[in-house]
A and B are shown apart, each in its own frame.
Chain A
Amino acid sequence: MAKKKVLVACGAGVATSTVVNGAIEELAKDNNLDVDLVQIKIAEVEGHVDTADLLVTTAMTKKEYPFPVINAQSFLTGINMEGTKQEIVDALKK
């Protein structure tokens, strides 16, 4: 399976994306998924539109992208974290 490029974005690219980034790193390892994680500000997503496979974000986005967008709030609150993890794994296995 080809390496997937996953964008991890929050408003500032400083805090919450760091947490989500760490969580996805572990998730990928546990599931033997080869991912290239790129931690950015949500405003920087545009620059990766052509190369990314998935966007996981804690910031809101109304724009349409050619790849799936998954809300990562559950990594911060713990509510339905397993569901979000499954969503990410499913998106990456496609």
Chain B
Amino acid sequence: MSDVYFDESVILLDIEGTSNEEVLAKMGETLHNKGLVKESYVDAVIAREKEFPTGLPTSGISVALPHTDAEHVYHKGICIGVVKDKVEFGIMGDDSETTAVKLVFMLAMDEPHSQLSLLQQLMQIFQDEDTLKQLVNQTEKQAIKNLIEEKIDFTILKGAE
């Protein structure tokens, strides 16, 4: 149980929704339907986002990194969502500002203090304007999967645990 679950089934394109809650619910349900998280994950991730927002204005496309406590997670994984029309997320570490997010990386983490290399590689993507642009312009899940797998070495992650 050390690998991070990621494939086309946890990539969502053109998510419709007018609030970040709607987007989070759709993504959280996707993780739940895959059996990666408990039913409680959805409410927990929405509540956590309210209390500790995860929106990040990058140099190009704003992203969000919603996640919640490990107790709601069965197996670690990432769900990637591209929203149809940008939705506002609170900015991480800021209690008043919001940012219009186009790309959401929802994390399911099954233990605290884990997955440093995965997270570091994710941050590399956040800092890479070209890759972010490519991600939001894809119309095929397969293409997104390929792009992410180019940037994140899931095999190293398996061996590193």
Q: What is the interface of chain A, defined by CB distance below 8 A to chain B?
A: 10-16, 18-19, 21-22, 39, 42, 57-60, 62, 71-73, 75-79
For chain B, the bracket of interface size reads 20 to 34
CB of B126 within 8 A of CB of A12, answer no
CB of B93 within 8 A of CB of A13, answer no
CB of B95 within 8 A of CB of A13, answer no
CB of A14 within 8 A of CB of B92, answer no
CB of B52 within 8 A of CB of A42, answer yes
Cβ of B67 within 8 Å of any chain A Cβ, yes or no, is: yes
CB of B68 within 8 A of CB of A77, answer no
Closest to A39 in B: B113
Cβ contacts under 8 Å, A10 to chain B = 52
CB of B93 within 8 A of CB of A14, answer no
Q: What is the interface of chain B, defined by CB distance below 8 A to chain A?
A: 48, 51-52, 54, 56-59, 65, 67-70, 91-95, 107, 109, 112-116, 119-120, 123, 126-127
CB of B126 within 8 A of CB of A77, answer yes
* Also in contact, A59 and B116, with CB within 8 A (given A10-B52, A15-B109): no
Cβ contacts under 8 Å, B116 to chain A = 18-19, 21-22
- Which are the 4 A-B pairs with shortest beta-carbon distances? A11-B52, A78-B127, A19-B119, A60-B95
CA distance in complex: A14, B67 (Å): 8
Select which of A18, A58, A60, A78 is within 8 A of B126 by beta carbon: A78
CA distance in complex: A12, B126 (Å): 20
CB of A14 within 8 A of CB of B112, answer yes
